[in-house]
Amino acid sequence: MSGDATSFPTAMRGYSKSAVDDAFLDLNRDVLRLSTQNAQLADELRQAKAQIEELSAKLEEVQSPTYAGLGNQAAIILASAEDQATRLLAHAESEKSRVLGSINEEVESKKNEAKDYYESLVAEADRRVERVINSAKGEANEILDKAQSEGKRLIEEATRESGSIRGAIATEVAKLRADTKRQTENLKAMVERNLAEKKLMLQKEMIREIDTEKAALIIGDQARIDLELELTARRSEAEADYLRRHQEAVHQTQKYLDDAKAQLQAAITRTNAAQLEAETIESAARSINKATTDAARNQAEQMIALAEAESRQIVADAKNRAARELDDANSKLAKLEIERRTVGSYLEHLEKVVEASRKSLE
């Protein structure tokens, strides 16, 4: 296995898939290389067994009654077998140490890599939460400022409109009063002129038509009575007309006052509505700010939890893989040890046979 630390580029919700695939390809190549080495070791063991069998066969062949040359040949066979067994055992021990060291380095590298990845995710989540919160606060402050400015503008506009309406009402009332007074005075003067003119015309007609003094006196008395009656009627008519015009002016003034009050009430209603809208916008901005902050905090917590789970899974996978490879190495080493002991026992038996043969030759 490769002992170099593998640094995976991060992607959304975990490592980059291509980087992880490349890392697993490297691991597969290391496993394949170990398998090849194990196959070579197995082949060497098979060769050793074959040599031992060959030596056994030669030993059986040389176990003739003469036993000629058996001592030197047995020594050579024993030395070769012992050397090969020692070499195989040393190679197995070296391979075990190398595999264990590589596994430990790989596990430590995965731990460090998972820790760095977790810390980077936490830092990124903190930065993202801070950005979202700052953005939400900025938007909320902007909305609040706009709402306050709009409410202030509407209130000032309603105040100005109310003042304008009050001024217009006062001006209109004063104008109506002046117009009514002027019309009344004009009407009164016109009535008085008409009465004077008619009185003069009647007097002239009476003077022309009455020749005698008696008739003049009678007609004068009658004309005076008629004139007074007509003047009284005209005066009553003028007073009635004046009263009617005065009532119309009062009614019109009251109408203007009612309209002005209605406009003022509408302005007050609009002002209250603007203030309520500003308060509603401010409340909504606070709610949006809180909701955005809570959502960002929840998202950050989810990302942190995901990163922790992923880092724990990476470390667990690395430990499991290391444990499996260590078990495989121990199993292979145990097999080699058994084979070494078998070869040793066989060599010991062979030494005894050779020693017995040597003694029998002596």
Name every residue whose Cβ is closer than 8 Å to that of residue 335 and which is 6 or more positions away in sequence.
none
pLDDT in tens, 110-163: 667 766 766 776 677 667 767 766 776 676 667 667 766 766 776 676 667 656
pLDDT band at 5 (very low <50, low <70, confident <90, very high): very low
Query: pLDDT above 70 covers what percent of the chain?
Result: 25
Q: What b-and-e string marks burial along 271-294, b requiring 16 or more CB atoms within 10 Å of the CB?
A: beebeeebeebbeebeeebeebbe
Distance CA 277, CA 148 (A): 10
DSSP run (H or E) holding 251: helix 213-361
pLDDT band at 4 (very low <50, low <70, confident <90, very high): very low
Residue located via tokens 């030197």: 72
Distance CA 319, CA 313 (A): 10
- Mean pLDDT score, 30-52: 67
pLDDT in tens, 296-352: 667 767 766 776 676 677 667 766 776 676 677 667 667 766 766 776 676 676 666
pLDDT in tens, 270-282: 767 766 776 776 6
pLDDT in tens, 153-211: 766 766 676 566 666 666 766 676 676 667 667 766 776 676 667 666 765 665 555 54
Assigned token pair, 241: 């007309």
